[in-house]
A = this chain, B = another copy of it.
Amino acid sequence: MRSLLLLLLGLLPTLALAQLPALMPVPSSIKTGTGQLKVDASFTVAITGHREPRMERSVQIFLNDLRRQAGMLPLDMSIVDGPSATLTIHSVTGTKDVQELGEDESYQLEITSNGAKLDAPATLGVMRGLQTFLQLVQTGSNGFIIPAVSIQDAPRFPWRGLMIDVSRHFMPVEVLKRNLDGMAAVKMNVFHWHLSDNQGFRVESKKFPKLHQLGSDGLFYTQDEIRDVIAYARERGIRVVPEFDMPGHATSWFVGYPELASGPGPYQIERHWGVFDPAMDPTRDSTYKFLDEFIGEMAKLFPDQFFHIGGDEVNGKEWDANPKIQEFKRAHGLSSNEDLQAYFNKHVQSIVAKHKKIMLGWDEILRPELPNDIVIQSWRGPESLAQAARQGYRGLLSHGYYLDLMWSAERHYRNEPLSGDAANLTPEQQKHILGGEACMWAEFIAPETIDSRVWPRNAAVAERLWSAQTVTDIPSMYQRMAFISHRLDWLGLTHNSSYTPMLHRITGTEDIAAVRVLTDAVEPVKGYEREQLAIEPPTSATPLNRVVDAARPESETSRRFSLMVDDFLRGNRNPELEAEIRRQLGIWHINDAALQPLFGMSFLLQEVQPLSQNLSAVSAAGLAALEYIDHAQSAPADWMNQQLGLVAQAQKPQAQLLLVVAPAIEKLIRAAASHN
């Protein structure tokens, strides 16, 4: 057996992917053998060792996924008894009634030309191993095959989550289910469900029905639907942690129950984005009585041992404006609103604990008043995570994993939970860092666009949290992520399939070639710029149908172009490389002419007209730069400065989009001028 180190280091980027397993996340250990296992319609699975309904169901789900991936039919492939099966599964123990943090997820997978063996201490490891199996299956010269391989695998962190905000824009159950399928494919194990916020309360409450009746615009999950999602997640080895944000981010509660709030009311569902004043009144017993009943109801509905109370971004304005609350603070020696919130959190924690749950909250809940078993989710940064760990609190990293900020997969991938302050923790303290969660905040996503914001970048976060800290090769990550991205199509995720229909809507015509060229070359603005750059404040009712909604968070076209330019400027004078750069610049250069007749016809296209002109202009500059370089002439400084001005102009946001191919062109221009 030879090591796959070469692949993992990305040193073989030109080798066809079908030759080597493109696993994501990378397993702990992988050794290739000789020969290959055929996976055809006669494929069978035998379950040996511990048996339980969840195991049977896992294998059925696996077979369905395998059939979809291979284009096979329900009559193909089956579960059998006995030793002749293609894949023999063995596990020692089953699963807990409610999946727990830290359950064993390890597995061993052995593929030879004679068959496959999947061994795991428990059902959960079998689930993870089956996902590896699916990623291994490839189209071969004689059928679908898996190259002989031996894999040992276990996760680095026990908490690998995705948070989805369903408050700012509601996401129907089918959207959640397909994303749970995607999470399972990359071995994530926690779905953090952000269920309430200022803009909507999304769960049916039988005890306090005005919560969903008045706080959701009719867009909420029934308790049956909640149970259905939890069961669906459980079948895929995923825990479901609910979050009910309090005492702030809670306007939607107050529409039906204004008595919970600190202000005079009345309240309406918030339509805008940001941090708002309304907050629960932490001084009244009735607040805690309400929360006790409510949390009691929800603690039964959501079986997971953790319960997220949010706790972020209380601006304190309603508290400051309420004389009774001011009086209460004085009477109780609470000198700041932070103290008052800590007082609130302590009460809420005792309620959560009474209902047999462990409290989880954002950074702000970290206060010495609270017991050590709570878990801190860090949106502020690794410092607060390290600080929590030093104080004996467990923590999760989410800072750096905010998918809504439109950063590159590389940036998320480089975001190491045990870096910065956390790198200096003792091994014992480091164990307090349970893992992390990617966060999909929903200000600018709709059911149509959420998948393209979560995927494929979420796979990079999943790998960071599963694979060894030493797995850091960026080209390898991108190569495997592209492969996994197409695999996710089989699960019904729409991050790829929604692109073309959105471009059709935007152009209003059949021919979308030119708008695709432009949209492929841009990215949405980063961080919180989209809201800042908006001409009118966006609301929950603002359509999300623009080019900025169709454009991918990370332009693969631009990434590849930049790599080619870097390669070329490092001295690679392969004529095919330069021809490819020239071809791409040529396409961009003439694209604006193709789009011109369409701008006047579509309001959704009009706003990107400056971008299109800029793309054409900077591409012309890039082509001219290549000419200088080809003729071994140094371009005049005047020319360079003029072109750099053009490029600088082109890099300004337009229509909340960035022309991300511009920096690579800038490099060509500078190289042309410095050419000797």
Show the binding face of A for B, using Cβ within 8 Å. 16-19, 41, 68-76, 138-143, 169-170, 217, 219, 446, 448, 482-483, 486, 489-490, 496-497, 500-502, 504-510, 540-545, 549, 597, 600-604, 606
Contacts and interface: CB of A to CB of B under 8 A. Distances in A.
A140 B138 CA distance: 45
Given A138-B508, A139-B603, 11 more contacts: A18-B509, A73-B540, A73-B543, A74-B170, A74-B217, A75-B217, A141-B600, A142-B603, A489-B501, A489-B504, A497-B501
A601 B16 contact: yes
A601 B502 CA distance: 34
Nearest to A486: B504
B140 A601 contact: yes
Q: Which of A170, A448, A505 has the most B CB atoms < 10 Å from its CB?
A: A505
Contacts of A219: 74
B18 A601 contact: yes
Contacts of A507: 139
Contacts of A489: 500-501, 504
A505 B69 contact: yes
A489 B498 CA distance: 9
B41 A76 contact: no
A510 B446 CA distance: 28
A551 to B, nearest CB: 14
B139 A604 contact: yes
Contact of A541 (B76, B486, B603): B76
A486 B501 contact: yes
Chain A binding surface SS class: loop
Nearest to A22: B510
A73 B169 contact: yes
Name the 6 nearest CB pairs between A and B, nearest first.
A71-B545, A139-B508, A497-B497, A75-B541, A489-B501, A18-B508
Contacts of A482: 510
A509 B507 CA distance: 30
A30 to B, nearest CB: 20
Contacts of A606: 141
Contacts of A70: 505, 543, 545
Nearest to A271: B75
Given A139-B604, A601-B140, A446 B73 contact: yes
Nearest to A544: B71
B483 A510 contact: yes
Contacts of A18: 508-509, 601-602
A120 B248 CA distance: 51
A61 to B, nearest CB: 15
A155 to B, nearest CB: 27
B76 A543 contact: yes
11 contacts: A70-B543, A74-B219, A75-B541, A76-B543, A138-B508, A139-B505, A139-B604, A140-B601, A141-B606, A489-B504, A490-B501
Contacts of A549: 71
Nearest to A143: B603
A219 B76 CA distance: 13
A600 B41 CA distance: 21
Residue with the greatest number of chain B CB neighbours at <10 A, chosen from A71, A500, A600, A603: A71
A436 to B, nearest CB: 28
B510 A543 contact: no
A192 B69 CA distance: 30
Nearest to A504: B486
Nearest to A543: B72
Nearest to A541: B75
Contacts of A501: 486, 489-490, 496-497
Among A507, A543, A549, which residue has the most Cβ atoms of chain B within 10 A? A543
A140 to B, nearest CB: 7
A601 B540 contact: no
B508 A603 contact: no
A404 to B, nearest CB: 17
A219 B73 CA distance: 11
B602 A509 contact: no
A602 B510 contact: no
A597 to B, nearest CB: 8
A606 B446 CA distance: 41
Contacts of A217: 74-75
A115 B504 CA distance: 26
B603 A140 contact: yes
B141 A603 contact: yes
A230 B584 CA distance: 52
B541 A73 contact: yes
A461 B549 CA distance: 36
Contacts of A490: 501
Nearest to A549: B71
Given A483-B510, A602-B139, A75 B41 contact: no
B141 A545 contact: no
Residue in A16, A142, A219 with the greatest tally of chain B CB atoms within 10 Å: A16
Nearest to A605: B139
Contacts of A543: 41, 70-73, 76
Contacts of A510: 17, 482-483, 486
A227 to B, nearest CB: 19
Contact of A73 (B69, B74, B139, B544): B544
Tell me which of A18, A19, A70, A170 has the highest count of chain B C-beta atoms within 10 A of its own C-beta.
A18
A71 B490 CA distance: 24
Given A448-B71, A505-B70, A510-B482, A141 B540 contact: no
Nearest to A502: B71
Given A501-B489, A601-B18, A506 B139 contact: yes
A666 B526 CA distance: 54
Given A141-B602, A505-B139, A508-B140, A496 B500 contact: yes
A316 B590 CA distance: 68
